[in-house]
Each structure stands twice: as C-alpha cells, then as structure tokens.
C-alpha cells in the first residue's frame, strides 16, 4: 500500500506518518489490512530526520499547488490513500486572505482535480476544523453541536474549510474519490514553536510554562474550548480511512470527539501538574483579535457518529499534559508535582 500525506512534515502530518509506520499496515475502507510499502510526505519542508531515515518514506519538497499543477502522475497515481492535512491556519487566513484562498481552497480543489484525472479513486481523508461552526447574533450556535448542526463559519479559515468539505462530498458523490472529511478539534498540547493559528495559545499556555518560559493567555478564563490531544486526533484521522462506506454513513463531515473544558480549567490543570511557578508564567494581557476568533467557536460537541466508530474523547486535561511531558521530556524544565 502507498500513502500520501500533504503537510507531511508538519506536526500532525509527521505524527500520522510515525503512527502508520509503527502499525506497518492499514485497512482501508473496511477492507483487509495491507502492508504499507511507501509513505510520501508532501510539504514545503523536508521530512523530519527520523522519518527520512525510514526506507519506506519519500519526501516531496515544494509548494503543493505547484506539485499538483505538474503534469506528471508520479506518486499521486500510486496512492491508495491520501491524507490532506496541508493548510494555512486560522490567524494567517484572517491576516492574508489570498494566502488562505491559495492554500486552503485552491490547493484542495487542485488535489481533487488531480485525483479525478488519474481515475484511481483513492481513499481521501480531508482535515477540516471546528471553525466551520461560528457564533453570530444573527445565527447563534446551539449549546451543544450535533452531527447535523448547520455550519455557520465566521472566519475566512472556517469558510475555506467548509468549502473543502463540500468539494470532497461532491467528488465522492461523483465517484472520483472515496472521501471522508473529519472536523478536528483544538489540538493541545502541540510541541515545537508557536504557529499562526488563533488557537495556538491553547498549546503555548502549557508548553512554554513547562519549559520555564512566559506565554500569552489572551482570553478570559471562562472561554470554552473543545479540545483533543494529538493522540486522539490522529486516532480519528486514521479511523476515517479505515471505516467502510456503510460505517462512515453520510458524505458530510464528521465531528471528532472532544474534551469540553475552559481556559481557566486548562490553567488549573497546568498548576496541578507543574505547580504555581508554572502558572505565574502566564501573561493574561487580552488580545481582542484572538478573542474575536476564538469566542465564535463552539465549546461542546456531541460526536455520536465518531463514537459509533469507537472514537473517544480524552478523559481529562491533566492526563493530556502528562502525556505531553512523557513524549517531550527534553522540552520540560519545570519540576512536576507528584
């Protein structure tokens, strides 16, 4: 089996690749498990060293739109499954409309057209976002988002992701791909450096204090968060590829399970794990631009479809923080609580 991951050198793309390589095989679309012979990571950056050292990994470095415009069929024609994770993130899309449209709309459309032209009908998993749901006075969100709740995005990023969902649904309806769109929750705790996502501080407010650094926490404590750990997020992405058509159900996107929490509860968990010295490193200076985006997102989901596929939310945020510490010991400088 051959697999392509767009955004494959990024955090989630690399973690997905490591997960698949560790499994060694994948059962697509309800079929039998097949050995993974090759994973191609498509990204502007080269693959991380550990992945590059694996003989099963190929790194295709360059702009995704340019690679898709190339007339060569190449690795795209051999792909049994494509995981489309490449995207410009929320804050970037608000600051640069053209970047968001090029990276999130045009690239997704170009990918679907490439696969349509090849006629290979791969399984395509598209990473959408909870940002397709947005609160507004004219269309207030319900207290709990259900699988059938109408998306009402309030940001360019959310609109671009919703367009992507609809494109995947129609290309699937026409039989060009076997598409599944999954709406990712806010992923925390992400390792590494901050990115341009409006939600980036949800990781930074934990990651930086654990490293002994100050971190912004620019929204009020009562701000709701629908959160998922990296491990639960990858589980959802993989399960989407594995599910049969009958298990998957409607062509509409699936909300992945989430832990319903608040910024204040996240900070309290940081204090329980790393003590008051970590909490003291949080900078509570408000950022109206971040608040405007984040407060429009829902904080509570009932992910019945995902649960029917065996997917579950994280039990609590304390465990999420401890998992981050276990996986990234070199990034932690604080003495942890017993």
Minimum mean pLDDT range among 13-27, 159-173, 184-198, 205-219? 184-198
Q: Mark whether 157 is an active-site residue.
A: yes
pLDDT for position 70: 85
Domains in the chain, start-ordered, CATH in brackets? 2-185+228-255 (3.40.50.720)
pLDDT for position 58: 97
- Contact between 185 and 256 (Cβ < 8 Å): yes
291, HSE (Cβ side, Cα atoms, 13 Å): 13
- Contact between 178 and 29 (Cβ < 8 Å): yes
Residues 263-284: tens digit of each pLDDT: 999 999 999 999 999 999 999 9
What mean pLDDT do residues 194-223 have?
A: 92
CA dist 202 and 205 (Å) reads 6
pLDDT for position 53: 98
Catalytic residue among 126, 157, 201, 248: 157
What mean pLDDT do residues 81-92 have?
A: 94
For the entire predicted model, the pTM comes to 0.95
What mean pLDDT do residues 309-327 have?
A: 97
Residues 6 or more apart in contact with residue 279 via CB below 8 angstroms: 209, 267, 270, 271
Q: Is the confidence at residue 338, as pLDDT, over 70?
A: no
Q: Which two tokens stand for residue 103?
A: 């990276």
Share of the chain above pLDDT 90, in %: 91
Q: How confident is the model at residue 193 (pLDDT cuts 50, 70, 90)?
A: confident
């Amino acid at each position: 089996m051959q697999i392509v991951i767009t955004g494959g050198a990024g955090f989630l793309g690399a973690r997905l690749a490591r997960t698949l390589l560790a499994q060694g095989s994948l059962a697509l679309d309800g079929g039998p498990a097949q050995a993974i012979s090759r994973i191609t990571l498509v990204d502007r950056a080269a693959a991380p060293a550990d992945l590059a050292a694996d003989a099963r990994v190929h790194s295709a470095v360059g702009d995704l739109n340019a690679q898709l415009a190339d007339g060569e069929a190449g690795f795209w024609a051999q792909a049994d499954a494509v995981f489309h994770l490449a995207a410009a993130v929320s804050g970037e899309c608000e600051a640069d409309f053209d970047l968001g449209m090029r990276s999130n709309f045009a690239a997704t459309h170009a990918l679907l057209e490439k696969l349509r032209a090849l006629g290979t009908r791969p399984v395509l998993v598209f990473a959408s976002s909870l940002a397709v749901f947005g609160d507004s006075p004219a269309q207030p969100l319900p207290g709990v988002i259900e699988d059938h709740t109408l998306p009402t995005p309030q940001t360019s990023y959310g609109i671009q992701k919703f367009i992507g969902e609809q494109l995947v649904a129609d290309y699937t309806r026409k039989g060009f791909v076997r598409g599944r769109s999954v709406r990712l929750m806010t992923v925390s705790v992400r390792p590494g450096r901050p990115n341009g996502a409006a939600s980036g501080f949800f990781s930074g407010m934990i990651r930086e204090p654990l490293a002994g650094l100050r971190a912004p926490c620019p929204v009020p404590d009562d701000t709701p968060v629908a959160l998922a750990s990296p491990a639960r997020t990858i589980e959802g992405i993989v399960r989407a590829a594995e599910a049969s058509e009958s298990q998957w159900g409607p062509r509409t996107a699936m909300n992945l399970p989430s832990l319903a929490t608040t910024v204040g509860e996240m900070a309290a968990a940081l204090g329980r794990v790393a003590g008051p010295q970590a909490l003291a490193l949080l900078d509570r200076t408000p950022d109206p631009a971040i608040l405007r985006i984040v407060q429009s997102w829902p904080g509570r989901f009932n992910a019945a479809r995902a649960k029917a596929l065996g997917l579950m939310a994280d039990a609590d945020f304390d465990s999420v923080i401890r998992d981050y510490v276990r996986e990234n010991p070199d990034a932690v400088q604080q003495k942890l609580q017993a």
